[in-house]
Structure 1
Amino acid sequence: MQEFAKKPTAHRHPLPHGTLTLTTNASSMVMCAVLEQDTDDCCQLLAFFGKKLTSVEQKYSAFDRELLEVHRTIHHFHHMLEGRQFVMQRDHQPLVRSFAKTADAWSAQQQHHLSAIAEHSCTIKHLKVEPLPTSEEYRYLFTIINRSTRWPKAQPIWQQKAESCMKALIGWVSRHGVPYIITSSSWGVNFMSTLWNSLADNLGAKIIHTTAYSPEANGIIKRLHRSLKASLTARFQGGIWRKELPLVLLGLKTSPHTALNISPAEALYGQSLTLPADTFQHTMSPASPSDNRKAFERIMPAKATYHIARKVYIPNELQNAEYAFIWVDAHRIPPHSPDYLGS
C-alpha cells in the first residue's frame, strides 16, 4: 500500500478523437481544474491546474470568481482545447445560465471573459451535487461536532426528515450529555420544524440558526464535511461507504486538529485512542505526575475562531423604533404576497 501511494498519478497521452471533459471548481482562496478524456473503456486523466487567488480576486463575488476561474482554466489548456469540442462541467448554476442570457447588464470584465470563453467550442453543463449513493439503505449523514473538543460524529440516516435527525441527536446526548447551545442550519426544513425545536426545549438546550447567505456562521461543520468527504472518497470502494465510515471517523478523531494542536480524542478523554498499529508496540513505562500535569494543561477547550471580519450595519434609530418590517426570505404563497411583514 505504501509503495502504491508513492507512485505519481498516471497521466495519459491525449487522443485525437477522444471526448475532452474539463471539470473546474473555485473557492474563496484558490481555483482548480482537471482535464480528462473519455474513451470507450474508461475516463483517463490528462492534466491538472491550480492557482491561488490574489487578495483582490478573493473579494470578487461568487459569480465573478467562477467566471474568472473558467476563463483562466481554458486559457491554461488552450493548446489542448483549441479547435476541439469539449465539455465544461460546473457546479455553479448561474454561470451555466449566463451564456443563454440576452440582457446586456454585464460589467466590462464579465463581457471580456464571456466573449473569450465563447470563442471555444465548449458545452457548459451543470454538475449537480447529489446525495450519497445508497449504501445498506442509507443515503444521508447527520453530522455533529463539539466546538470545544472538535469531536466529530457522523450518523447514517435513511431519510432527511426531522424524525431521523431527532433520533441521531438523542444518540449524541446519550453519550455526551445535553449541549447548552445547538447551532443548526436555517435552510433545511427539518431544522426549522416544530418537532426539532420542541425536542430542544424538552432537553433544555438553546437552538441558534445560522444566518442566511452566511456559510461561515457555522464554518466548523463545513470544514468537517470537507475532511469527511475527502476521506470517504479516498476509501470509497464498490459504493459501500457505510462500512468505511467508522475507520474514517477514527482517523479524524485521532488526527491533530489545527485549532487544538492535539487530537479531538485527547481533548475529550485526556489521552489518545489505541490504534491498530499500537497493539504491535511494546508497553511504555507509566508517566510521572509532572508529565500528567503537563498533558492536562495542553487539553484546553478550543476558542471560537473568526476567519472573516465583517461589520454589520445596524441603524441607531432601530433601538427606539416602535415598528419594524421583516423581509420574507422564502417562497411566498400566493406569489404576489408582500415582501415584508409588519405595519
Structure 2
Amino acid sequence: MCTPSPISWSRELPVILLGLRSAHKADVDATPAQFVYGTTLSLPGEMFEPAEHSSPSEFVQQLINTMHKVKPTDTAHHTKREVFVNPALNDATHDFIRNDTAKPSLTPPYDGPFKIEERNPKSYKIQICNRAVNVFINRLKPASKHLILFNQK
C-alpha cells in the first residue's frame, strides 16, 4: 500500500477501513465491529467459505447483552409549557406591550406604558392612541408607578 499505485487512494480506502474494523484487538479480545454491531463482519474472502471464529470474550458478550436491553427514551412534550405571566400584572394600572416586529439594533423591546381598561383571563383591553385594543397577557409587562408618573410629566 505504501508504494505509488496507479489506482486512486479513494478506491483503496474502503478496503483499508474494512480491515481496520475487522482487525482483532488482543487487549479486549474482540474486533471493533463486534463492539458496534454485536457480531463479526463477513470479509469478502469469507463469503463463500465460512471462517471459524472464536466466541467473544466475557466483556464483549456483556456489552452485547447490555446494548440489547437499551430502550429508547420517551418523546418530549413541548406543548405543556406554561406561559409566564408576571403576578404584578393583576394589580398594575398601566403596562408595556412587547413589540415582536423586526427592529433595528438598540430599539427597546417594549412599547408603552399604556393604560389597562379591562382584564380577561387571557387578554387585556389596553388604551392605545385613544382606542381600545385586545392584547394577549403573554406580551404584557407591568409598568411601575414611578415610571408612569415620569412619562405623564
The reply to whether TM is greater than 0.5 is: no
Higher relative contact order (CA 8 A, sep 6+): 2
Larger-gyration structure (1/2): 2
Provide the TM-score with structure 2 as the length reference. Answer: 0.32
